């Protein structure tokens, strides 16, 4: 195998999955500690491993490893964590296997391939005024990157390359994520009295249908490359048995707003929808926002110049990335990396060896340009 593929196989062997219902979480810090001496050996002026994000209550720890060469103005960021292994794997997810032009393994595409490529490129010459940040907690939350952006180590950063599988394209826009949970309660009891009681599941079912109808009605709203709300009514919970009226129910849903989305208008529309269902059902509904990830959109000429020679095109992405957090912190960002999002989170996840070689060339170019002031 090539050096980048050999290193990626090594990284796949570290379980860094987020916890699932049937498996505890992996250990992100173990991989960060493994990466630290590899970065130090390649001439970094500082390497530090930081514990941040999820704790060890689920069997693992979260955090990040940060390395810098000089006084960084540019950071290259890839996440070390993965989703849990999806059902349907035909091989051990944590044992990398190469077949023809594909390297299979959990995280090979999303995004340990980018980590391996960024480190391998260092062997062709060190950068100047560049940092590498390999961070956890991306697949479940954003605690690690938020910790970094609130720390003194982000001082001086002007730009960020956020690595995600983009099929060799440069992501300059993407949707946000808004997720909600609604709850309602009643006295509960025997179903023979259902006509005279609050019915929590039915109440929230009305809200679920109203949300789904809205998503269908607005399927063509938004930019041409990002039409629709991506409204997802994800779960309606609370039922116990056919002869029991439950005391409570909950509804979970999400949508993915595009850059320029009118958030104030949406908030008002949602409030009116909830009020209408409450009025009909005669029961109060409490709505809690559980995720608020802003959309992302940036136009930075220097960043574009760094990747244009290697990116197939500049595009909008349908999935959310932590580039939005860099933008909110006043740091221009672009999203690019080896692999295709179609492979991310899938059984038998893979990245092509050609994509890994492409990524090494990309980062080699970025490092070389860092000597010329970007």
Residue 176 has pLDDT above 50, yes or no: yes
Band of pLDDT at residue 371, cut at 50, 70 and 90 = low
∠ CA 253-258-264, nearest 5°, is 75
Hey, what are 74's tokens?
A: 């540019």
Give me the pLDDT at residue 183, please: 98
Q: How many CB atoms lie within 10 A of CB 364?
A: 20
Nearest-5° Cα angle at 323, 258 to 291: 60
Q: For all residues of the chain together, what is the average pLDDT?
A: 94
- What is the per-residue pLDDT for 38? 98
Rounded CA-CA distance 47/38 in Å is: 10
Partners of residue 244 on adjacent β-strands? 190
The rounded distance, in Å, linking the Cα atoms of 131 and 133 is: 6
Q: Which domains does the chain have, with CATH numbers?
A: 3-174+294-370 (3.40.630.10), 177-293 (3.30.70.360)
Identify the pLDDT of residue 131. 98
Specify the pLDDT at position 54.
57
CA distance 224 to 217: 16
% of the chain exceeding 70 in pLDDT: 96
Mean pLDDT confidence for 208-232: 96
311-343 residue pLDDT tens: 999 999 989 999 999 999 999 999 999 999 999
CA 213/CA 117 separation, integer angstroms: 45
* pLDDT score recorded for residue 300: 87
Least Cα distance to 104 among 3, 14, 2, 5 occurs for 5
Whether the per-residue pLDDT at 22 is higher than 90: the answer is: no
Strand order in the sheet with 97-99: 97-99, 102-104, 350-352
Residue 62 pLDDT grade (very low, low, confident, very high; cuts 50, 70, 90): confident
pLDDT at 24: 79
Integer angstrom CA distances of residue 116 from 104, 178, 251, 345:
14, 32, 41, 19
Determine which helix (DSSP H) or strand (DSSP E) holds 146, and give its type and residue range: helix 143-149
| pLDDT at position 4 over 80 | yes
Concatenated DSSP letters for 180-248?
EEEEEE---EEGGGGGGS--HHHHHHHHHHHHHHHHHHTTT-S-TTS-S---EEEEEE----TTEE-SE
- pLDDT confidence of residue 53: 65
- What does the pLDDT read at residue 58? 43
Instruction: Give the pLDDT mean for 99-106.
Output: 97
The per-residue pLDDT for range 33-61, each reduced to its tens digit, is: 999 999 999 999 999 999 986 544 444 56
């Amino acid at each position: 195998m090539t050096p980048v593929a050999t290193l990626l196989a090594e990284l796949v062997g570290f379980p860094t999955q987020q916890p699932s219902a049937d498996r505890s979480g992996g250990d992100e810090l173990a991989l960060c500690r493994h990466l630290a001496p590899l970065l130090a050996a390649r001439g970094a002026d500082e390497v530090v491993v930081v514990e941040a994000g999820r704790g060890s209550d689920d069997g693992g720890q979260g955090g990040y490893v940060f390395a810098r060469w000089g006084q960084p103005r540019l950071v290259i960021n890839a996440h070390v964590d993965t989703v849990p292994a999806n059902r349907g794997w035909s091989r051990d997810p944590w044992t990398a296997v190469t077949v023809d032009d594909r390297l299979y393994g959990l995280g090979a595409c999303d995004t340990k391939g980018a980590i391996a490529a960024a480190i391998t490129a260092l062997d062709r010459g060190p950068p100047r005024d560049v940092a590498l940040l390999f961070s956890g907690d991306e697949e479940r939350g954003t605690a690690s990157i938020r910790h970094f952006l609130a720390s003194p180590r982000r001082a001086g950063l002007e730009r960020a390359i956020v690595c995600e599988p983009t099929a060799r394209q440069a992501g300059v826009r993407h949707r946000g994520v808004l997720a909600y949970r609604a709850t309602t309660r009643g006295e509960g009891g025997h179903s023979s009295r259902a006509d005279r009681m609050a019915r929590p599941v039915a109440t929230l079912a009305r809200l679920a249908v109203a949300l789904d109808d809205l998503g269908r009605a607005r399927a063509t709203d938004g930019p041409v490359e990002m039409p629709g709300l991506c409204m997802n009514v994800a779960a309606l919970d609370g039922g116990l048995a056919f002869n029991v009226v439950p005391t409570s129910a909950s509804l979970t849903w999400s949508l993915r707003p595009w850059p320029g989305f009118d958030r104030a208008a949406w908030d008002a529309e949602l409030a009116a929808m909830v009020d209408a269902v409450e009025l009909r059902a005669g029961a109060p509904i409490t709505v809690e926002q559980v995720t608020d990830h802003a959309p992302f959109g940036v136009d930075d000429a220097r960043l574009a110049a760094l990747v244009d020679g290697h990116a197939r095109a500049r595009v909008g992405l349908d999935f959310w990335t932590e580039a939005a957090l860099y933008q909110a912190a006043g740091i221009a960002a672009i999203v690019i990396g080896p692999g295709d999002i179609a492979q991310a989170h899938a059984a038998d996840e893979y990245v092509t060896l050609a994509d890994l070689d492409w990524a090494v060339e990309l980062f080699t170019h970025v490092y070389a340009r860092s000597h010329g002031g970007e």
